[in-house]
């Protein structure tokens, strides 16, 4: 990076990268990046703990998919079919009640104060803020609102006649799919990737990290840690 273009500031034991230009695109992964946990996995845990699904089988399957995600081997369509079944099997009013309880029980405690500080820094710089996440939009829309990030790209559960069908609508926002969805969003909004940032914890996000101007590893998994070190990408902690 050009030291004349960027100021590096350490606060609360993590690194801020300060751009001198306005209106850069600041993209954030959500799970284990801005949150101190995985909202997808925790939705499954919420359903199990509140006996809203067949507890033992659902928890075992949920853990299996999470392990596959960490390994980079998860089939997003298989996972979505599993996760969207409770959405398809229940009325929207019931799901909204569950979601409100889930946000209080599972999400509010894992919103990282340092993440809020980082978001505020980009907001003060007049950057355009965007979350891009593999987690579905039913779960993540209110989380983005809590974080005051106005733009969200997430995996979209299909809705037919006001009810979830159990299927994915369009391209899932996962691995290379994040790039596909982002490129579509850029074409629709007129934004560009010049001087863009992407903050992520996961090696699953390497396709997008390689695309932006300023890839930043946040509390990275071992594979991303190694890649970031090899490529001299900044590594920060929000924990």
The predicted model scores a pTM of 0.87
- The kind and range of the H/E element at 175 are none
Span 113-126, average pLDDT: 97
- The kind and range of the H/E element at 17 are strand 14-19
Domain range annotation of the chain: 6-36+112-236, 39-108
Active-site residue list: 29, 31
- Rounded to the nearest 10 degrees, how much is the dihedral formed by the CA atoms of 191, 20, 16, 210? 40
Per-residue exposure over 100-117, b if at least 16 CB sit within 10 Å of its own CB, e if not: eebbeebbeebebebbee
Both structure tokens of 153: 């790209």
6-36+112-236 shares its CATH topology with 39-108: no
Fold of 6-36+112-236: Rossmann fold (3.40.50)
Q: What is the pLDDT of residue 6?
A: 33
Q: What is the pLDDT of residue 22?
A: 52
Q: Is the pLDDT of residue 20 over 80?
A: no
CA distances from 122 to 27, 117, 196 (A): 10, 9, 11
Backbone torsions φ then ψ of 64, nearest 5 degrees? -60, -45
**Residue 8: Cβ-neighbour burial (10 angstroms; 0-12, 13-18, 19+):** exposed
CA distances from 223 to 16, 27, 68, 96, 135 (A): 22, 20, 14, 37, 21
Span 39-53, average pLDDT: 93
pLDDT 10s digits, 223-233: 999 999 999 99
Higher pLDDT, 76 or 38: 38
Domain 39-108, what architecture? Answer: Up-down Bundle (1.20)
Per the DSSP assignment, residues forming a β-bridge with 25 are 128
Neighbours of 194 (CB within 10 A): 11
Per the DSSP assignment, residues forming a β-bridge with 218 are 236
């Amino acid at each position: 990076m050009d030291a004349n273009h960027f100021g590096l500031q350490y606060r609360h034991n993590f690194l801020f990268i300060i751009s001198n230009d306005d209106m850069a695109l600041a993209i954030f992964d959500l799970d284990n990046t801005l949150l101190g946990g995985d909202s997808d996995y925790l939705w499954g845990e919420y359903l199990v703990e509140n006996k809203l699904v067949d507890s033992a089988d659902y928890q075992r399957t949920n853990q299996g998919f999470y392990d596959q995600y960490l390994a980079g081997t998860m089939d997003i369509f298989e996972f979505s079919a599993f996760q969207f079944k409770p959405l398809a099997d229940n009325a929207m009013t019931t799901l909204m009640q569950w979601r409100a309880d889930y946000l209080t029980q599972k999400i509010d405690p894992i919103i990282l104060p340092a993440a809020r500080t980082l978001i505020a820094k980009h907001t003060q710089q007049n950057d355009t803020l965007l979350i891009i996440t593999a987690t579905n939009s039913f779960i993540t829309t209110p989380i983005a609102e809590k974080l005051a990030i106005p733009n969200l790209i997430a995996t979209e559960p299909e809705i037919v006649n006001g009810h979830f069908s159990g299927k994915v609508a369009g391209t899932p926002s996962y691995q290379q799919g994040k790039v596909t969805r982002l490129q579509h969003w850029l074409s629709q909004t007129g934004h560009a990737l010049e001087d863009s940032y992407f903050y992520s914890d996961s090696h699953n996000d390497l396709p997008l990290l390689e695309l932006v101007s300023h890839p930043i590893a946040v509390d990275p998994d071992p594979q991303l840690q190694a890649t970031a070190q090899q490529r001299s990408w900044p590594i920060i902690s929000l924990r």
